Structure formats: C-alpha cells, structure tokens
Amino acid sequence: MAVYQVRLVNPAIALDRTISVPEEEYIIDIAEAAGLKLPSGCKQGECSACVAKLVSGKVDQSEQKFLQSSEIAAGYIVTCVSYPRSDCTIYTHQEQVLYQASLYKSK
C-alpha cells in the first residue's frame, strides 16, 4: 500500500505540517490522529465544514456529495472523504473562502 506525504497549510493559524497518509485512509482521519484539529462536520462528504483547496497533487474524493463539478475543477476538496493519490499540498479551513468565491455571488 502506498503512503503519501500530505502537507496541510494555513498561514492564518500558523499551520504548516506534513503527515503521512496511506492511500486507503481519509486525509482528515490521519490528520486528527496526528493531533491536528481540522474543521469537520458530517464526516460523510455531504457538507462544507471540512472544505480545503488542493494546491498540488491528486486525491480521490469520489465519495463526496457536496461539491459541484465547477468547485472541484477550481481545486476544492472535502477532506473527510478524500484519499491521497500522490504527495499533496492542501490549504485547510477553506469553507468561508468557497462561499465568498464568485461561484456563489449574485451576478
């Protein structure tokens, strides 16, 4: 089984930590096991609490039910049901950023 290096970053809270995540484990579960407190809600991929932005690398988030295809194309992921598929860099705590993005503004 492959194990990937997942870098979790958020300058606003002085977070910059790399964790080793097996390919069949959810990113948020391993982060919590490593002592990181990341936002979470349903833990089923149905809400926006754990939204993050994938800066580099690949994940499998095929189990998620919240994000629209345009949001996925913009790099958003839900960490509660995301499996790493390569080494990754992820900006955490992006729920408010998602909602403030032009994707949700009135035109």
| pLDDT band per the 50, 70, 90 thresholds, residue 100 | confident
Q: Which two tokens stand for residue 68?
A: 């629209």
Q: In the prediction, which pLDDT does 53 show?
A: 97
| pLDDT band per the 50, 70, 90 thresholds, residue 55 | very high
The residues, ordered by sequence, that sit 6+ positions from 32 with a Cβ below 8 Å of its Cβ are: 38, 40
> Cα angle at 6 between 22 and 24, to 5 degrees?
20
Is the pLDDT reported for residue 95 higher than 80? yes
| Model confidence pLDDT, tens digit, residues 11-45 | 999 999 999 999 999 999 999 999 999 999 999 99
Q: Any bridge partners for residue 10, and if so which?
A: 15
What whole-number distance in Å separates Cα of residue 80 and Cα of residue 63? 10
Rounded mean pLDDT, 57-79: 96
What are the residue ranges of helices labelled H in 35-94?
69-73
Q: pTM of the entire structure? A: 0.90
Residue from 6, 36, 31, 4 nearest 18 by CA: 6
Q: Among 19-28, 57-66, 94-103, which stretch is predicted with the lowest mean pLDDT?
A: 94-103
Q: Which two tokens stand for residue 54?
A: 């994938």
